[in-house]
Amino acid sequence: MAEQTVESHLFIILGATGDLTRRKLLPALYQLSNRGLECRDLSIVGASLQEMGTDAFRLWAYEGLQKAGWRHDNNLRAWCDACLYYQSVGSGSAQDYEALAGFISELERARATPHNRVFYLALPPDTVPTTIQRLAEAALLKSDGWIRIVFEKPFGHDVQSAHALNDRLHRYLDESQIYRIDHYLGKETVQNLLAFRFANPIFESLWRRDTVDHVQITVAEDIGVERRGAYYDQSGALRDMVQNHLTQLLTVMAMEVPSSFEAGAIRSEKRKVLQSVAPISREDVVFGQYTAWQIGNLLIPGYREEPGVPDDSMTETFVALKMEIHNWRWKGVPFYLRTGKRLPRKMTQIAVTFREAPAQIFRALGADGPSPNQLLITLQPSEGFSLCFSVKRPGRPFQFSDRALHFDYEEAFGALPESYETLLRDVMIGDQTLFVSADFTETAWRLYDRVIAEKQDVHFYTAGMWGPPEADALVERNGHRWQLGW
């Protein structure tokens, strides 16, 4: 757990002229420099199909970082000129990658940099296998230093494709070199769940079926599919969000105490959670799709009116499901997962509802009983915790009022690092704790493959609503209701 030093290395971004690089990667890398990571330890090489030189790439990056909030930063231009380089990979041929290999070798020699390399594949998912092969053929994955590969979801689209992808990666790389990034795991609140549970016996002692009634995990988005219509229609909410983001949050919430605070031990316990999940019944899954919403003169288009989406598409933009974990700790406790687009507000929240008191002594006084205690863990828009409980209102008659103790991360510690900043630094120091392993991806896909294969009707909901009524019925038939925060 001690802070580790970042070894000098090259950080090579393939797909460097794309939106991900400009919005997320370059701001995170620049912020790391503001926290002490100097250019002598971090040289950034942009590589993409676009023909441009290093000077043009530096200007492109400078203008993007200005728009991202550093317009008045006097060090920005100097950082771009000192740290950034560019090499086109042309059409992506073997010869183009040989040229990239020559450029990298020359840069390592000129800057006296050890042969340590991070390759960040900011690329469409279907190009990842070919890119890995090209890097291997150009001998870029062999060095007397260390090599690390980073790429974004999706990690396959079902268990077969995930296995095929992992098999291709393992032809050229050891699993210890592969970093499958899920930006949700870089959020401070997700990381703090481990400390919250395992460093505070007061909560860990309550983290079981005897005291927990049910758990809800909600990832709500207020936007539509925007410019991703063609991609999204081949994916849908289950593949795009549930199989990765929500399932990761589920395992962090439900895992047992690891033997140590190390990547291998934590990953092992998360995998055990997935292996304990009971088969998901069709009756416990609700799919939805948003339709148009008229607000005065403003028309919010429905999913089928989005660019790139067929006008008869039955792809889901909303999923709600119930699952059960059949192990000693959680048997009988329902876990509800919910995500959707065009919902009323952007929100990521985990709600743990505790069981009611076994004897309601206050009913003899004619008072309404207290509400169940709840722990609300918020990941966005703000990060923090709320512990909700009942108190007596002053005076007569005897009545209860619900109140909450709040903890807000930014209020306590100031601005938090962005998740990409945290994760990129972890890549640089070789810490895989917050990254997705090969066996996790395949085990997670096995959970949902049957749900995908037996996909049922899609229910429609108006944009701006909390999904279709059938999602409410899913929890209500178990005596619950969706928690929407405090």
Catalytically annotated residues: 245
| Residues 242, 455: Cα–Cα separation, whole Å | 15
C-alpha distances (whole Å) from 381 to each of 34, 146, 222, 409, 427 are: 24, 37, 12, 12, 26
Label residue 69 exposed, middle or buried (CB < 10 Å: 0-12, 13-18, 19+). Answer: exposed
Tokens describing residue 175: 């699993």
| Residues 465, 300: Cα–Cα separation, whole Å | 12
Tokens describing residue 441: 């991806």
DSSP designation for 280:
P
Contact 26, 42 (CB under 8 A): no
Tokens describing residue 215: 């758990």
Strand order through the sheet with 347-354? 400-408, 384-392, 374-380, 347-354, 212-220, 334-340, 318-324, 285-291, 458-462
DSSP designation for 245:
I
Phi then psi for 403, rounded to 5 degrees? -135, 170
| Residues 56, 361: Cα–Cα separation, whole Å | 74
Pairing between β-strand 347-354 and β-strand 212-220 as defined by DSSP bridges: antiparallel
Tell me which H or E stretch contains 108.
Answer: helix 94-110
Instruction: Reduce the DSSP state of residue 313 to 3 states and report it.
Output: coil
| Residues 313, 94: Cα–Cα separation, whole Å | 39
Tokens 């030093």 found at: 5
DSSP 326-387: -STTTTT-EEEEEEESS-SS-EEEEEEEEPPPSS-GGGGGTPPPPPPPEEEEEEESS-EEEE
- At residue 347's C-alpha, the angle toward residues 209 and 484, to 5°, is 55
Tokens 């050229």 found at: 172
Tokens 């205690």 found at: 373
